[in-house]
Amino acid sequence: MGSYNQSSNPPNTRGDVLGKSGISAAFGQRALQHFDFDPEYRNLNHASFGASPSAIRKKLCQFQDLAEAMPDQFIRYQAPDFLNESREAVAELLNAPTDTVVLVPNASVGVNTVLRNITWNEDSKDEILYFSTIYGACGKTIDYMVDSSQNRVSAREIRLRYPLEDDEVIAALRDAIEASAKSMKRTRVCLFDTVSSLPSVRLPFERITEICREAGILSLIDGAQGVGMIDIDLKALDPDFFVSNCHKWLYVPRSCAVLYVPLRNQAIITSSLPTSHGYIPKSETGRRFNPMPKQNKSAFINNFQFVGTLDTSAYLCVKDAIEWRRRILGGEPRIIEYTQTLAREGGKKVASILGTDVLDNKSASMSRCATTNVALPLRPGEAARAPEWMMETMISDYKTFIPLFSHSGRLWARISAQVYLDIQDFEWAGRMLLELCERVGKGEDIGWEHEHLRKWIPIMGQIPL
């Protein structure tokens, strides 16, 4: 695996950053030249933190340079125009009206923004539904809502044990809604993924949204693994709230996410997170001076236009990232087809090397995404003790990282497909994982935690040895 750097200097105009050629390049090794990975590092975990092409990161630096050169002129008067261009670009990609989307730092902020703006009823009957495969930070957010609501809201978990067919997931959702009603609860909102994190599988989020709509439940979709990875059509989907990271599969620099709130629900979102100048208090006597120039936007849009002094340069790169994907890689359909095909075929290759299997259902609906989950050939005791050692050893000995997790009594590896990878990378991953499992079988991981503590705790000055 190699790495190449682009030699062109950063251009002065938005369009030139994409290069002169409108012909899409090949994927795999040839696409790798657009990213700045260390030559020794093999990035098999795009799903966690994403990666941005060097051309877009140069654009990011240009925006940061403008902010440093003339802070007031850029932040107050120029940045809002670039921000609106980004909002328009991502709205078009998602097939949503521009005035329904704003940009926030990440999907967790988007989920927090929605849940913290909902007013819970005083009768303590409100309930939040969520699936057991929820992203950890979002699960903790629900815990906080329950803990801080003074018993006004509770939560109900829907247990999922994969592999499951979509109909089984839907049946579990219907059972939870019915159980909530029988418990004299009122399901206010259901939080669910497009593609969950661990295990990384596609949920039937379209059908879940329909059921929520039929039942009068607010649908909050955590699409952290969404835009740029799978097709999203918000007009057809019509959720109550949707958030998706742009810094993952869309190649926008970290950190940037899109938050969608249809017009019918914008009155619910009265404040950004944190509250800033765009907030409109209920009391006329509480109106305060807003030092930022008026943008003649709706209250919802203006709320998120300026949320304190943050480096929002990544937000301004959304339009460039979308256009780069079209000009250089051939556009969304081609990117999605390549990454999903590579994940599917690559997962089979890794499973073949390991002598195990891929986590999927008979209809293969779970794997219609750009990630794959492959079981590791470890005994139960090994699977319980070895994951942390294996993941740290991947970094130190193999210059890569693959998340490991337990599900349905087995240890799994989640591998991300990307345009800069090809089937040879998956073959390498399979051999690497097999070698790690063999090392575990020889007991190399035993005593690692103690040695790990011996190495780091004295440095941290926490305890003497």
Distance CA 63, CA 82 (A): 10
Distance CA 372, CA 425 (A): 14
Asked if 154 contacts 127 with a C-beta cutoff of 8 angstroms, the reply is yes
> pLDDT value at position 286?
61
> pLDDT value at position 32?
95
Sole residue written with tokens 């007031």: 72
Chain-centroid distance of CA 15 in Å reads: 27
Amino acid making up residue 311: D
For 356-406, the pLDDT digits (tens) are 999 999 999 999 999 999 999 999 999 999 999 999 999 999 999 999 999
Label residue 293 by pLDDT band (50, 70, 90). confident
* 11-15, 54-58, 286-290, 364-368, range with the lowest pLDDT: 11-15
> pLDDT value at position 5?
32
Beta bridge partners of 102: 259
Distance CA 102, CA 260 (A): 7
Asked if 375 contacts 234 with a C-beta cutoff of 8 angstroms, the reply is no
Query: Would you state the structure tokens that stand for residue 388, as one six-digit string?
Result: 């942390």
> pLDDT value at position 448?
72
pLDDT value at 63 more than 80: yes
pLDDT value at 461 more than 60: no
The percent of residues above 90 in pLDDT, for the chain, comes to: 84
192 φψ region: left (φ > 0), alpha (ψ -120 to 50), beta (else): beta
Q: What's the half-sphere exposure (Cβ side, CA atoms, 13 Å) at 239?
A: 30
| Higher local confidence (pLDDT), 253 or 23 | 253
Chain-centroid distance of CA 132 in Å reads: 17
> pLDDT value at position 456?
47
| Higher local confidence (pLDDT), 458 or 5 | 458
* 13-17, 26-30, 333-337, 352-356, range with the lowest pLDDT: 13-17
**Segment 158-182 mean pLDDT:** 98
pLDDT value at 291 more than 90: no
pLDDT value at 15 more than 50: no
pLDDT value at 4 more than 80: no
Q: pTM of this prediction?
A: 0.90
> pLDDT value at position 7?
32
24 φψ region: left (φ > 0), alpha (ψ -120 to 50), beta (else): beta
* 35-49, 158-172, 294-308, range with the lowest pLDDT: 294-308
pLDDT value at 83 more than 90: yes
The percent of residues above 70 in pLDDT, for the chain, comes to: 90
Q: Are strands 153-158 and 126-131 parallel, antiparallel or unpaired?
A: parallel
Asked if 388 contacts 395 with a C-beta cutoff of 8 angstroms, the reply is no
Sole residue written with tokens 């340069």: 313
Asked if 219 contacts 240 with a C-beta cutoff of 8 angstroms, the reply is yes
Domain annotation for the chain: domains and CATH numbers: 78-319 (3.40.640.10), 333-450 (3.90.1150.170)
Rg (CA), the chain: 23
Of the ranges 272-276, 309-313, 314-318, which is most confident?
A: 314-318
Label residue 300 by pLDDT band (50, 70, 90). very high
Amino acid making up residue 449: E
Distance CA 400, CA 299 (A): 45
For 25-59, the pLDDT digits (tens) are 479 989 999 999 999 999 999 999 999 999 999 99
Q: CA torsion, points 230, 221, 372, 43, in degrees to nearest 10?
A: 80
Label residue 285 by pLDDT band (50, 70, 90). low
Q: Are strands 241-245 and 218-222 parallel, antiparallel or unpaired?
A: parallel
Report the candidate in 120, 45, 15 with the shortest Cα–Cα distance to residue 405. Answer: 45
Q: CA torsion, points 56, 57, 59, 63, in degrees to nearest 10?
A: 140
For 107-155, the pLDDT digits (tens) are 999 999 999 999 999 999 999 999 999 999 999 999 999 999 998 999 9
> pLDDT value at position 200?
97
Distance CA 84, CA 88 (A): 6
* Strand ordering across the sheet containing 404-407: 371-375, 410-416, 404-407
> pLDDT value at position 290?
84
